Amino acid sequence: MPTTVSRRAAGILLHPTSLPGPHGSGDLGRDAYRFVDWLAASGQTLWQVLPLGEIGPGNSPYMSRSTFAGNVLLIDLTELADRGWLDHADLVVSPAENRLRIDFATVIPLRMQRLRRAATRFLHAATTSDKSSFTQFCAEHHRWLDDYGLFMALSNSFASDDWPAWPAELAHRDQCALNDARHAHADEISFWKFCQWCYARQWRSLKTYANERGVKIVGDMPIFVAHQSADVWVNPDLFELDSNGRSTVVAGVPPDYFSETGQLWGNPLYRWSRHADSGFAWWCERMRQASDQSDLIRIDHFRGFVAYWEVGANEVTAVDGRWVPGPGAALFKAIRKALGDLPIIAEDLGVITEDVKALREQLGLPGMRVFQFAFGGDATHLFLPHMYEPNTVAYSGTHDNDTLVGWWQTTSLRERAFIQHYLGSDGRAIQWDAMRALSSSVADRVIYPMQDVLGLGGEHRMNRPGLPTGNWGWRFAWEQLEEWHGRTLAHFSAAHGRSALSLAELPA
């Protein structure tokens, strides 16, 4: 099957951690390949994931300790055993495991323990070929990998990734202190490099497998990075920090659909003048890495490039903030000059002003439309399917939304009547009626969260913005997925020109 897709396409939003699998959370193992096969058979040509970096506070993939490193919890342990770096006894897990929910408190130490065993065996008994591959990977990625490995080693040594609290000579990166630390923590640094090599190998293999079957990967890039990260520690001049390395102002959004007090994200804000002085070099490297890992890049909070909500670092909510101009087109011109035209999706949700729309249109980027946001107004609402433009990615919901079924069960009577009239639906299969409307729209691309395909209620949503705990843990099981789910999606995609399948090829 060709690796290209027509401009009209359809796909599924599912983070790899939500896949089935035997070790407490989804990973890059055989269930991921099985999911790709299911996508292809169902006429789906897009697989959208959440950020693939390491998880941060609250187990969020949007608060990684490195914007360049992959999530080591996604490493397929079975593949490590097949290579002889783990015993198959290491793969046995408790039968009491909850297959529909990630217990991070159990999964993280279990997986990290196995990774350390594998690294020890690899570093002492790897084949010449594997050692050469590892050495080549470290050389190719040294610009970020060396500092990342040291950051992780120091974080473990001090039992904290709050780097401003480290000894001053390390917090402020005195070169002699860094050299001493690299020597003292050489084994630990090698461990983290080994993990990144394993992740990169496995992700490249999975992505190649997907592309060969006509499935493209839609990546997700957060606009901001975590303060407790190698990125900020290594490049403090690129962020709004004081002389001690602490944030003076932080990121958030004003009161919105999700929260009456706004969302206080807490990420450090960029010192855009320094980025501009460097020709946006750090951003170009970041985009290069993202384009290597995915076929399309969804950039979260696109409106922040026009203006972002700045909140004082000591505020407890995001209410008292102000809009500050972002870099605008200059950033994207620099990226285009360095990397050419990259396929980017602009997440243009939230408080969208005319200048945000103008920048997106100037750059020729598709925006996003979310079905669940469409029914608070009248028939002219831009999120209603009949109002879409072709250069649009339409979603039944995102990772921040309730599921379609959960949303339907909690929406107001007025909105419910509007929805039923609009879809011609009696509400009994509201998720399929909504997905059919999206599929038949002029939007070039449509994406459905896996929970909507399975018809799951609100208790299965991925994230509740504003809640610091209890998110990101949802998983599905293969027995939940019936043959007719894929067949229905395949018929949608074939009928509406979103796949290489034709209706004549599909069973009735």
Residues classed as catalytic? 300, 347, 400
Query: Which residues have a Cβ under 8 Å from the Cβ of 431 and sit 6 or more positions away?
Result: 396, 403, 404, 405, 408, 452, 453, 455
Dist CA 113 CA 117 (whole Å): 6
Phi, psi angles (nearest 5°) of residue 59: 65, 25
What residue type is 128 in one-letter code? T
Per DSSP, what are the bridge partners of residue 447? 11, 395
Q: For the chain, first and last CA: distance in Å? A: 23
Per DSSP, what are the bridge partners of residue 370? 395
* CA angle at 179 for the pair 175 and 182, rounded to the nearest 5°: 135
Question: How many other C-beta atoms lie within 10 A of the C-beta of residue 135?
Answer: 12
Is residue 262 a contact partner of residue 317, using CB atoms and an 8 Å limit?
yes
Q: Among 44, 31, 120, which residue's Cα sits nearest to residue 78?
A: 31
Burial class (CB in 10 A: 0-12, 13-18, 19+), 426: exposed
* CA angle at 156 for the pair 155 and 158, rounded to the nearest 5°: 70
User: Edge to edge, what strands does the sheet with 249-253 contain?
Assistant: 263-268, 249-253, 307-312, 321-325
